């Protein structure tokens, strides 16, 4: 997806402040942080959002759920919030699936 910002970050065409990378996922600091620590965790594969998932993605998504706390722990977060926005009405602005990790200071209740 040559016109996708996050695919271009994966490809190294757009710089990002990376904190984690493996074969399947990349994590980097959000360019406009909404908390002391605000990371974005993305699959390297272009998946639009949760609505784009099929049964074929089950293993990858399971691995993502195990990777999120690993990244949070590496960043020294003892508590954090994970958010993924789905669709324009859900507040999604970048249409490459990403999980926000927010933390570093006490977050208000939801």
Residues binding ligand 5GP (CB under 6 A) = 5, 14, 16, 28-32, 40, 85, 91-94
Give the nearer residue to Zn ion in terms of CB position, either 13 or 17.
13
The item of Zn ion, ligand 5GP, none sharing an interface with residue 91, based on CB under 5 to 8 Å by kind, is ligand 5GP
Could you tell me the two tokens for 21?
Answer: 């990378």
30-49 binders of Zn ion (CB under 5 A): 46
Cα(107)–Cα(69) distance, integer angstroms: 17
Structure token pair of residue 85:
């926005």
Give the HSE-up count for residue 23: Cα atoms under 13 Å, Cβ half-sphere.
2
| Active site amino acids | 98
């Amino acid at each position: 997806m040559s016109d996708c910002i996050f695919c271009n970050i994966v490809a190294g065409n757009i710089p990002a402040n990376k904190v984690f990378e493996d074969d399947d996922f990349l994590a980097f600091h959000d360019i406009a942080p909404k908390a002391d620590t605000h990371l974005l965790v993305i699959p390297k594969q272009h998946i639009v959002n949760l609505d784009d998932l099929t049964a074929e993605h089950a293993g990858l998504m399971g691995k993502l759920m195990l990777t999120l706390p690993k990244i949070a722990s590496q960043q020294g977060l003892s508590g954090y919030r994970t958010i993924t926005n789905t669709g324009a009405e859900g507040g999604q602005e970048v249409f490459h699936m990403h999980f926000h990790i927010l933390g570093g200071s006490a977050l208000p209740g939801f």
